[in-house]
Amino acid sequence: MCGIMGYVGDREATSILLDGLRRLEYRGYDSAGISTLDSNRKIHVVKDVGKVEQLAQKAELSGLRGIAGLAHTRWATHGGVTMLNAHPHLSCNREVTIVHNGIIENYLELRRDLDAKGHLFVSDTDSEVIAHLVEAVYRNKKDVLPALTDVVRQLKGAYAFAAILADAPNVMVGARQDAPLVVGLGNGENFLASDALAFIGHTDRVIFLDNRELVLLTEKNVTIYDFEGNVKQKPATQIAWELGSVSRREFEHYTLKEIHEQKETVLQALRQDPRSVDVFVDALERAGKVYITGCGTSFHAALLAKLLFTTYAKIPVEVLLSSEFDQYEELLDKKALLIAVSQSGETADVLSAVKAARKMGVKVCSIVNAMGSTLVRESECTLLNNCGPEIGVAATKSFTSQLMIFNMLALRLGQREAELSDLWSTGRLVEKTLGLDAQIQEIADRLHVANDFYFVGRSLHHPLALEGALKLKELSYIHAEGMAAGELKHGSLALISEGVPVVVLNPEDGTYGDTLSNASEVKARGGRIIGVSTKPSKVYDEYIEIPVAAPNIYPVLEAVPLQMLAYYAAVSRQQNPDYPRNLAKSVTVK
């Protein structure tokens, strides 16, 4: 979590960094700050608690001069949300400024040593220790690279940091260990960031750093080293993400824009390099056993994948929560294939599961949105979501892309040619479903005052019930639970009283009749039924009509009204759906 960015070049750094911070804000929005090094070798810092826009309003920002600088947007881990804990941090003599993403596990030990040497700490963060450590080591070595290799030798934990030293003007340094860091190669200027999105408006040529790599950047040169200080040659990659796709266009929020983009992104997910699909399918066919892992929304996609693989390809699958993976790692079948699903490709729980699986000799393939992310590099094969950057903190279009890819794999393995070609109709069906926007806004306007919501569905609709509840909680802060429709009567029915909203996912497929009976049981106890279906029923107090489709496509269509319901409930409750409280998009801590 936290977004970091650095710039060194021939232009004033502040506005470039501020623009980058706006694009990195999805990574955390507790506080934000910028530091620059001016032509008199003085480091200046401006920071504030709250979002980037709050920082942008600060008058001091316009006086922040320098052609090298750092920027940070924070998701607090060590130390509360305060001005002093905001980054960038300074060493006590203001000789070093740093920004950091991740956790320094041995910071207390390092801080004690530095305290004893007279360093004065002003924050409660683990990060500040890096600034003091760089200062202390550089004072002895007087050379940036040996100082940096010494610093990373002493740091333990998962981190990416960037630093600027007053004594080494117009040199920026960076280090990566288990947290993302990408170099952007410009013309007479270079960039460093947690995500290429930060600088994509300036260059699309990037180098993805790997673990245990350091980088020294000047306006003209970029040199990469390993943690021992040996030079490494790494090729640059051209990335394809369009600048236009990170603007909100005519939409009020990124979340709404991303919901609407799904009419195209569901098809983008199908446009895969055929060789990559062959490799993935081959891995599935050869696997003695298939596990799928993920967190949150990606976990819900994995649950749906299990049903698709079982139904259409007759391949049994076990789904394991990445955050619980430790419990199973000893039991893994060595001939297995692990499919890791992640929008960001940087989720610490997922990466840790992948590491454990690889250690046990299990082959890992992944389904990822962020190209160049750690998960892609840790996998033997990958299919990319191809849905473009997802800025809204809640996963929307990346979820339906994951569902499309799993659909494609299951149908291909099961040689279900007719259903496979029918997948291409999903774009049109999603477009039709997007027409529900005004109706759902109106339902959310009426029901956003509810204290609790329930979401139910059977079979393929069960993971969607879980997802609908997660989305509503996350965006609107209304308590919500998702469950298998048949489970209601085993306990949760006790919670239903007059007017409690229950969303019933019930298009006409094999589960229709049973689910409708469960809906009637809820209605008989006073529940307010919101039916998402292809067929009206007097059981439904609100009827949300989705188009008729093949059963495997229904989950994709259901996702759309569920996302809209959560979005509009948040808006009705005057919450910003793009930045839910306490959350961040990329969860890089375990």
Amino acid identity, residue 144? V
Q: How far is the CB of 258 from ligand F6R (least distance, A)?
A: 11
- Closest CB to ligand F6R among 35 and 347? 347
Residues 6 or more apart in contact with residue 446 via CB below 8 angstroms: none
Angle, CA of 502, 507 and 509, to the nearest 5°: 130
- Closest CB to ligand F6R among 48 and 261? 261
**% helix / strand / coil in the chain, to the nearest 5?**
40, 25, 35
Tokens describing residue 558: 């259901």
- Closest CB to ligand F6R among 64 and 350? 350
Site track 375-404 with ligand F6R (rule: CB under 6 A), x = hit: -------------------xx---------
344 binds ligand F6R (CB under 6 A): yes
Binds ligand F6R by CB under 6 A, chosen from 34, 290, 570, 587: 587
297 binds ligand F6R (CB under 6 A): yes
- Closest CB to ligand F6R among 200 and 472? 472
Tokens describing residue 396: 């929307």
Binds ligand F6R by CB under 6 A, chosen from 95, 135, 474, 481: 474
Cis amide linkage into residue 274, ω under 30° from 0: no
Site track 9-48 with ligand F6R (rule: CB under 6 A), x = hit: ----------------------------------------
* Count of residues that bind ligand F6R according to CB under 6 A: 14
Q: How far is the CB of 27 from ligand F6R (least distance, A)?
A: 11
Dist. CA 346–CA 239, nearest whole Å: 18
Given its phi and psi angles, is residue 319 left (phi above 0), alpha (psi -120 to 50 degrees) or beta?
beta
* Span 96-125, contacts to ligand F6R by CB under 6 A: none
569 binds ligand F6R (CB under 6 A): no
131 binds ligand F6R (CB under 6 A): no
410 binds ligand F6R (CB under 6 A): no
Binds ligand F6R by CB under 6 A, chosen from 5, 32, 295, 391: 295
Q: How far is the CB of 397 from ligand F6R (least distance, A)?
A: 11
Q: Which of 2, 295, 365, 381 is catalytic?
A: 2
Query: What is the phi/psi pair of residue 28, to 5°?
Result: 160, 145
366 binds ligand F6R (CB under 6 A): no
Dist. CA 118–CA 138, nearest whole Å: 16
Site track 247-276 with ligand F6R (rule: CB under 6 A), x = hit: ------------------------------
350 binds ligand F6R (CB under 6 A): yes
5 binds ligand F6R (CB under 6 A): no
- Closest CB to ligand F6R among 354 and 488? 354
342 binds ligand F6R (CB under 6 A): yes
Q: How far is the CB of 392 from ligand F6R (least distance, A)?
A: 9
Q: How far is the CB of 257 from ligand F6R (least distance, A)?
A: 16
Dist. CA 213–CA 364, nearest whole Å: 23
Q: Specify whether 2 is catalytic.
A: yes
- Closest CB to ligand F6R among 373 and 515? 373
Q: Specify whether 92 is catalytic.
A: no
From 340-348, 358-366, 424-432, 451-459, span contacting ligand F6R (CB under 6 A)? 340-348
- Which residue is at the shortest CB distance from ligand F6R? 296
Q: How far is the CB of 393 from ligand F6R (least distance, A)?
A: 6
Dist. CA 490–CA 212, nearest whole Å: 51
**Which candidate, 331, 374, 383, places its Cα nearest to that of 355?**
374
- Closest CB to ligand F6R among 283 and 321? 321
178 binds ligand F6R (CB under 6 A): no
Angle, CA of 471, 475 and 477, to the nearest 5°: 100
Kindly state the helix (H) or strand (E) to which residue 244 belongs, with its residue range. Answer: none
197 binds ligand F6R (CB under 6 A): no
Q: How far is the CB of 109 from ligand F6R (least distance, A)?
A: 31
DSSP code string of 114-178: HHHTT----SS-STHHHHHHHHHHHHHH-SHHHHHHHHHHH--EEEEEEEEETTSTT-EEEEEEB
> Which residues are registered as beta bridge partners of 70?
6, 35
144 binds ligand F6R (CB under 6 A): no
Q: How far is the CB of 369 from ligand F6R (least distance, A)?
A: 8
From 159-167, 225-233, 295-303, 458-466, span contacting ligand F6R (CB under 6 A)? 295-303
Sheet holding 317-321, edge to edge: 317-321, 290-294, 337-342, 363-368, 381-384
Q: How far is the CB of 198 from ligand F6R (least distance, A)?
A: 17
447 binds ligand F6R (CB under 6 A): no
296 binds ligand F6R (CB under 6 A): yes
Residues 520, 537 contacting (CB under 8 angstroms) = no
CA dihedral in degrees (244, 249, 253, 257; nearest 10)? -80
343 binds ligand F6R (CB under 6 A): yes
Residues 286, 332 contacting (CB under 8 angstroms) = no
Dist. CA 433–CA 452, nearest whole Å: 25
Tokens describing residue 476: 């609107």
> In a 10 Å sphere around its CB, with 0-12 CB exposed, 13-18 middle and 19+ buried, how is residue 78 labelled?
middle
From 155-163, 336-344, 543-551, 571-579, span contacting ligand F6R (CB under 6 A)? 336-344
Residues 6 or more apart in contact with residue 68 via CB below 8 angstroms: 6, 7, 8, 9, 13, 36, 37, 164, 169, 170, 171, 172
Binds ligand F6R by CB under 6 A, chosen from 91, 127, 255, 298: 298
* First-to-final CA distance of the chain: 11
- Closest CB to ligand F6R among 103 and 224? 103
Active site residues: 2, 585
**What is the binding site for ligand F6R (CB under 6 A)?**
295-298, 342-344, 347, 350, 394-395, 470, 474, 587
